[in-house]
Amino acid sequence: MSSESKAMFTPIKGSRTFEEVSDQIKKLIFDGVFKPGDKLLPETELAQQFNVGRQSIREALRILELSGFITIQKGGGGGAVIKDTISSTISRLFLDAFQMEKITIEELTVARFEIEKTVLKYAIANADETDLKRLQENVDDACKKIEANINVIDENIHFHNLLARASKNHLFIIVVEAVTTAVRHFMRQLGPDAEFSDDKKWYNENIIQSKTTLAYHREILSAVIEKNLNKAVDTLENHLQEVKNRLQPFAR
Amino acid sequence: MSSESKAMFTPIKGSRTFEEVSDQIKKLIFDGVFKPGDKLLPETELAQQFNVGRQSIREALRILELSGFITIQKGGGGGAVIKDTISSTISRLFLDAFQMEKITIEELTVARFEIEKTVLKYAIANADETDLKRLQENVDDACKKIEANINVIDENIHFHNLLARASKNHLFIIVVEAVTTAVRHFMRQLGPDAEFSDDKKWYNENIIQSKTTLAYHREILSAVIEKNLNKAVDTLENHLQEVKNRLQPFAR
DNA sequence: TCACATTTGTCCGTATGTATC
DNA sequence: AGATACATACGGACAAATGTG
């Protein structure tokens, strides 16, 4: 107990069986014993191996599932499969934070601009051919879909995730994905089901907005290719300012 | 089903009872029906109300607990209490991401500097008397503890959280807390239990490092008070560079 | 200090739904 | 279509922890 003097407030293990089970499995994943794609034993066998009841196993699996370590499928041949979905798990919690009104649209917009500004700096420095190709495909794809009158919210959101990926910094990638997930959530609420706007009117406006966004994305991409940071940042600022106006209905 | 045409990939509800239960309770929290401090009914009564088995209730509570919506205590007078711990939940997941080696020390340091640089900008613009007082108390507290030979990792980490709080942007607060939680985790691994370093030697070095950190924090604080952004950023850069060197053992 | 009630934690047995072959 | 394998779900029971009188 030599470390006991260090005054650390890490709480004592809750003495809960299912936590010990989930911790043990989590540790095996950290240590690489279980790799993505591996399938865990069925609940009944896990219960035997750990010498605990099935309920404890189930609650442990619930924890691992919600923490982004496994996915679970029902039915024959199903079961718990190791799969890394931590990023999307963090994004989901960010969305919860928004719905708990812990973050406002204003705060989101400010932080998003600042973070993506930094992302652009590193994207210009670190983007390789694959990144630029993905970004180019993204805008081309969005363009085609707009002409075919297909909604492009997902593509337009994904452009920002691709930019973050080009920065080669996984922390930025995770944070940007969390932010864009929240933005997409609000964007979807602006759909044709929203009050006082008939479908046709919304649809025309949506097309116009999509084209505007696409134009901004094209300009940002060309600025990244030219390695022109100032141009990229300026365009991003105008772009996000416009996005902010669109999200204004959710402002408090 | 008019929204069905919008091609959104929100998956169908998993048809899992415990998910429906947790979703319903979560919604009641979002809508303010349940407020922080409120206590949920006992598991058996919840099972009756929802007309489901107790096992489903337990798994639903597990989800809410892990998502940061409730805390649970055993024993008489215990139970599930509404409590907002989303921030610390996000921090925990970030730590998982590190242990899954999704983020490196290099990436952490770079992102941390960029984000805290921005935080300083907004802290200088938005900090009020209370923020400055808290920061001052933090450095004073750390100073006293160093003189009393008490470890000040927690205080020194908290300084950065207080800076983020002064920026008045909750997104920055959440991200900075996630980052500092990871840093603290690594710092603690550098304790006297680490290999090839006897306690006394580590202890002396720890004192020196604490004093160095304290000096940096004092200078950053005075720069914030003077509203001198350049000085604050320069000091932060030197500070984080030194922290990075200390974390080098974990670099891959 | 000592029961006692309350509530979570845990296990077992059993039944049902669902996906795969 | 039928058999199999698996998660999902219910009910009952007891153990353990914690606050109360």
One-letter amino acid of A233:
V
CB B65 within 8 A of CB B72: yes
**Residue for token pair 């290719």:** A225
- Closest by alpha carbon to B162, among B125, B187, B137? B137
Whole-Å CA distances, B192 to A2, B203, B204, B205:
8, 7, 11, 11
Burial, A109: exposed, middle or buried (Cβ in 10 Å; 0-12, 13-18, 19+)? buried
Q: B196 in a domain, yes or no?
A: yes
pLDDT value for B158: 97
**Which residues in range 68-127 of chain B are in contact with strand C, contact meaning CB within 7 A of any of its atoms?**
72-80
**Structural domain harbouring B240:** 88-250
Question: A248-252, B44-48, B144-148, B155-159: which has the minimum mean pLDDT?
Answer: A248-252
Sign of CA dihedral B15, B21, B24, B26: negative
CA distance B37 to B82: 5
* Higher pLDDT among residues A46 and A3, named by residue: A46
Question: A130-144, B9-23, B55-69, B117-131: which has the minimum mean pLDDT?
Answer: B9-23
Which residues on chain A are in Cβ contact (under 8 Å) with B43? none
Residues B161 and B97 in one domain: yes
pLDDT value for A41: 97
Q: What is the mean pLDDT of residues A134-158?
A: 94
Given a cut of 80, is residue A13 above it in pLDDT?
Answer: no
Q: How many Å does it take to go from CA A43 to C1' D3? A: 21
Q: B65 in a domain, yes or no?
A: yes
Q: How many Å does it take to go from CA A98 to C1' D4? A: 45
CB A233 within 8 A of CB A117: yes
Q: B12 in a domain, yes or no?
A: no
CB B81 within 8 A of CB A77: no
pLDDT value for A4: 30
Residues A220 and A113 in one domain: yes
pLDDT value for A62: 98
Residues 6+ apart with CB under 8 A from B135: B159, B162, B163, B166, B221, B224
pLDDT value for B4: 31
Residues A117 and A224 in one domain: yes
Residues B173 and B241 in one domain: yes
pLDDT value for A10: 37
Q: B9 in a domain, yes or no?
A: no
Contact B103 A174 (CB under 8 A): yes
Which residues on chain B are in Cβ contact (under 8 Å) with A151? 6-7
Q: B1 in a domain, yes or no?
A: no
Task: Identify the bridge partners of residue B73 per DSSP, sorted by sequence position.
Answer: B79
Residues A166 and A112 in one domain: yes
Q: Which nucleotides of D are covered by protein (CB under 7 A)?
A: 3-13, 16-20
pLDDT value for A2: 33
**Region of residue B217 (phi > 0: left; psi between -120 and 50: alpha; otherwise: beta):** alpha
Helix B153-166 and helix B105-126, axial crossing angle in degrees, nearest 10? 50
Tokens coding B186: 């690594």
Q: Which of B29, B54, B84 is the last residue of a domain?
A: B84
Contact B169 A30 (CB under 8 A): no
Nearest chain A residue to B66 by CA distance is A63
Given a cut of 50, is residue B11 above it in pLDDT?
Answer: no
Kindly report the CATH number assigned to the domain that includes residue A101.
Answer: 1.20.120.530
Q: A7 in a domain, yes or no?
A: no
Helix, strand, coil percentages (3-state) for chain A, rounded to 5, are: 70, 5, 25
Residues B141 and B49 in one domain: no
SS3 labels along A76-120: CCCEEEECCCHHHHHHHHHHHHHHCCCCCHHHHHHHHHHHHHHHH
The count of structural domains within chain A is: 2
Residues A58 and A158 in one domain: no
CA distance A50 to A21: 8
One-letter amino acid of B80:
A
Interface mutation target, options A72, A171, A206, A252, chain B, most CBs of B under 10 Å = A171
pLDDT digits 0-9 by tens, B39-97:
999 999 999 999 999 999 999 999 999 999 999 999 999 999 999 999 999 999 999 99
Name the CA radius of gyration of chain B, rounded: 23
CA distance A136 to A222: 9
Q: B5 in a domain, yes or no?
A: no
Q: Is B229 on the interface with A (CB under 8 A)?
A: no
What does pLDDT average to over chain B? 90
Residues 6+ apart with CB under 8 A from B93: A67, A68, A86, A89, A90, A93
pLDDT digits 0-9 by tens, B171-186:
999 999 999 999 999 9
Kindly report the CATH number assigned to the domain that includes residue A77.
Answer: 1.10.10.10
pLDDT digits 0-9 by tens, A75-88:
888 999 999 999 99
Q: Which of B43, B65, B84 is the last residue of a domain?
A: B84
CB B94 within 8 A of CB B178: yes
Residues A138 and A238 in one domain: yes
CA distance B45 to A73: 30
Element (H, E) at B92: helix B86-99
Q: What is the mean pLDDT of residues B28-44?
A: 96
Q: Which nucleotides of C are covered by protein (CB under 7 A)?
A: 5-14, 17-21
Among B residues 97-156, those touching chain A with beta carbons less than 8 Å apart: 97, 99-100, 102-104, 107-108, 110-111, 114-115, 118, 122, 150-151, 154
Direct distance between the N- and C-terminal alpha carbons of chain A, in angstroms, rounded to an integer: 51
Q: Is A25 on the interface with B (CB under 8 A)?
A: no
Direct distance between the N- and C-terminal alpha carbons of chain B, in angstroms, rounded to an integer: 52
Burial, B120: exposed, middle or buried (Cβ in 10 Å; 0-12, 13-18, 19+)? buried
Q: Is B68 on the interface with A (CB under 8 A)?
A: yes
Q: A218 in a domain, yes or no?
A: yes
Q: With b meaning 16 or more CB within 10 Å and e meaning fewer, what string describes B53-81?
A: eebbbbbbbbbbbbbbbbebeeeeeebbe
Residues A21 and A64 in one domain: yes
Given a cut of 60, is residue A52 above it in pLDDT?
Answer: yes
In angstroms, the separation between the Cα of residue B111 and the nearest Cα of chain A is 7
CA distance A19 to A113: 39
Q: Is A72 helix (H, G, I), strand (E, B) or coil?
A: strand
CA distance B56 to B14: 14
Residues A47 and A142 in one domain: no
Question: What's the predicted TM-score (pTM) here?
Answer: 0.90
pLDDT value for B244: 92
CB B159 within 8 A of CB B217: yes
Q: Which of A25, A52, A84 is the last residue of a domain?
A: A84
pLDDT value for A202: 78
In angstroms, the separation between the Cα of residue B170 and the nearest Cα of chain A is 6
Residues B32 and B114 in one domain: no
Residues A66 and A190 in one domain: no
A213 phi and psi angles, rounded to 5 deg: -60, -45
Residue A6: pLDDT band by 50, 70, 90 thresholds? Answer: very low
